[in-house]
Structure 1
Amino acid sequence: MNVLEVDIDKLKDIATQVRRDIVRMVHQCQSGHPGGSLGCTDYLVALYFHIMKHDPKFNMNGKGEDLFFLSNGHISPVFYSVLARSGYFDVAELATFRKLNSRLQGHPTTHEGLPGIRMASGSLGQGLSVAIGAAQAKRLNGDDSFVYTLHGDGELQ
């Protein structure tokens, strides 16, 4: 299957499961931002399951693979679900969302050691500068991989 061909039914099934994960995670801890997560599901599923070249073994350097930076970190449930469903960590860990000592906190951070997280995204408005820096580094290093980023409407105003 080339880049232009896509199994829409497969992507829809994955997106449905990711949405279920989001609702379960937020409901279980009675905390979080389900609206933004649910609204960005199709974007992240398309990126991680069809568009991006990425490796769930995860190397922070990201050389030779496409990178994604989440700027609006409060939509972490969708990001965590997509990472888990892509093989970065066990799906069972989603049940620990926002619990004490969990790697899955309300905003992703690098110090938790969670594969797939390349930047802390608690401070809105930081993602664009990080993504631009990563893209420039890729260019300077002769790496023709892509850099993707997602931002919330409020931080872009």
Structure 2
Amino acid sequence: MRDKVEDIDELKKIATQVRRDILQMVFNASSGHPGGSLGCADFMTALYFRVMTQSDEFKMDARMKMPLSFPMAISLRCFTVCWQRKGYFPVEELSTFRKLNTRLQGHPTTHEGLPGIRTALSGSLGQGFSVPV
């Protein structure tokens, strides 16, 4: 797993790679809404690579909870690319985006075994902050 990134130029490089991965995922699937995910790449990269404390086992303790209230904007793409770039699963799994019977088949849910998911990241917009409450 990567350590915290302190260098801003390195964070920019990671965010650029995250955007490339998002575009590749959507292109390969011929489906998706990349705009929101691309727009979130900078702050998601900053959160996962500089701000949030994470364990090697991706245990969801109090330090790692982040409510998200606009799931359709980010959906699965930006989260999973950041998780993959942190080393939680192999890069090859990104190619399974929107493929049936895979962990990345659509909106992430807890039963798919995707690391870091406590509740489904889709559904009614604006419910993200009610979950931790």
**Same fold flag (TM > 0.5):** yes
Where do residues 2-151 of structure 1 align in structure 2 (5 Å cutoff)? 6-59=6-59, 62-63=60-61, 65-74=63-72, 75=74, 76-123=76-123, 124-131=125-132, 133=133
Kindly report the root-mean-square deviation, in angstroms, between the aligned alpha carbons of the 2 structures: 1.8
CA distance in 2, matches of 1:33, 1:99: 16
Measure how far apart 1:71 and its partner are: 3.1
Q: Return the TM-score normalized by structure 1.
A: 0.74
List runs of 5+ in structure 1 lacking aligned partners: 134-157
**Which is richer in strand?**
1
List runs of 5+ in structure 2 lacking aligned partners: none
CA distance in 1, matches of 2:18, 2:118: 21
Q: Return the TM-score normalized by structure 2.
A: 0.87
CA contact (8 A) 2:68 2:129 kept: no
The total of aligned residue pairs comes to: 127
CA contact (8 A) 1:22 1:81 kept: yes
CA contact (8 A) 1:73 1:106 kept: no
User: Helix, strand or coil for the counterpart of 1:70?
Assistant: coil
Q: Larger radius of gyration, structure 1 or 2?
A: 1
CA distance in 1, matches of 2:56, 2:94: 16
